[in-house]
Chain A
Amino acid sequence: MPTQAIQNLEITNFKCFKDLKVSGIGQVNLIGGKNNVGKTAFLEAVELFLNSKTASDLIFMFKTILKRRQNEIKYCEVDIFYSNEKEITLSTPHFKSCRIKRLSDYIDNSASIGDRGLPTEGLSFFLKEANGNEDEKSFPSYLFTKPETYDFHIDFWKNFSGIITYISSAKLKEQDIAILLGKLIDVDREDLLNKSLSSFDSNIITIKQIATQQGVVLKLKLKNQNNLVLLSSLGEGVNRYIAIICAIWANKDGFLLIDEIENGIHYTNYKKLWEIIFEASVAANCQLFITSHSKECISAFNDIQFENDKCDAQYFEFYKNLKTGLIDASGRDKEQLRYALTHEGRIRGE
């Protein structure tokens, strides 16, 4: 397991989660469930938690998550508190805890934004690490809600590597894939990628980065074709497959979040995809959190759970508990998941 891997996570008052405890988290974690049960919100909570090593990181990730969902909107709303609650906590016992709190008093923000500052509503960001170190910063709320303040021009933003740890359900930009590919080449795993690409699509021989004056363009060498073919001209499935493999290696000794992994990928390739994910996650020491709506994709995941015993892979079902009215998560081991899949089990919140 990665050095920063988490085995459990407790989430309070974050988005749709009033009180969620997830235990038994493994190296590769697949999450299923109906719409609006918090699968993506869980990925965001994990991202917020694992990407934050200081209170400033927490502020940055808070903003990133808000912007990702609301990037088309001129006015950005702080919508990550459950109901009207005032305090979010994300914690792993004996590891670390994060807290984001609505301040009941106005804060004086003149120190953070100069003489423009006036007492204003704020948010407090607190982080406590396993070694006992504590860090806290308060920040005016309005800085999160106006798009022109996106960059903040504050030094601590520069500490971030910019490496993608979250692959959304939408198609990735080619520039982002190129950066991830660069990281994979850095760790000398290009051969592995090309080999798995051939397995994914037998027509693909290799991927090439072509530097142009406008930036890097990705091209593929295909069988029986003399000219290289633009990656962007191929289907979404190949783009996503490449992005996922590269992102695992780009996040060596870290973690990766993938939303709706099956998007664009043909079902006959699911097993190959899981094979490479299981192998790469162990080799790159990368912990993965992945969501899926597809039963075929979950079945393929379960098949590989039985074939690869080196990777600790877990399945979690998110659902609304009708007795408590809250969202819960339950883990199934590989035997139980197989039983459910072969006995019309309701593994996706049905």
Chain B
Amino acid sequence: MARRVPITLVVAALMFVAGYAALFIAPDERTMHEIQRIFYFHLGSWTAMFTALSVAFVANIGWLLTRKPRWDWLGVSSVEVGVVSCTSGLITGVLWGKPAWGIWWTWDARLTTCFILWLLYISYLILRGLLDEPQRRATLSAVFGIFAFLDAPLVYASNRLWRGQHPSPVIFGGPDSALDPRMGKVLVVCMIAMLGVMLIVLVDRYRLERMRHELDELRVEAESRSASAGPALTSATKS
């Protein structure tokens, strides 16, 4: 807890540097010019999303194998953070798509995959809200989470065969991708900054889930105590 403030400050500073670097240090792009600068945050959002959802997948398996509540807390926290990152990736993508492609949205493999993932993980959160019993909620949502994660490569493969408009990756795209080295450096800074933000939110969300769990346990304990204290007291506390 004591380390929380300095860590948050470091990530905030990194985010500031990343913003400055993306806007002023990164070189101008040849065809898209200023618009292309959104890319640094666009890719940063996807990095954060894929990290969060992979953590969720591991957490889902972890819960099913060990039944330690902390895996369940990690599962729901990382799905929530992943959905937020996904939303940010979709919004930056739509904002970028209009000036760059002339359209807000297209049913391309990557766009569709992320949109379907967004829907699937929102369904995961809705499912959790509709399951009342904590043990069962953790198990059934973990099973659904694993199914959702397994669906991602299938969605991608089927959409890839169906149509493709999204540019193929320039970064790590082979020798002729001709990326300015400064762009690569700015990109790495942005990706680390956004991952940092994602992790801070994830840790806080995890703490919140743990506190909720503790609160529930205290409530159950208080109820069992008042029940054992006798019917008179129970009716008094309930009224």
Does A associate with B in a complex?
Answer: no
Residues of A within 8 A of B (CB): none
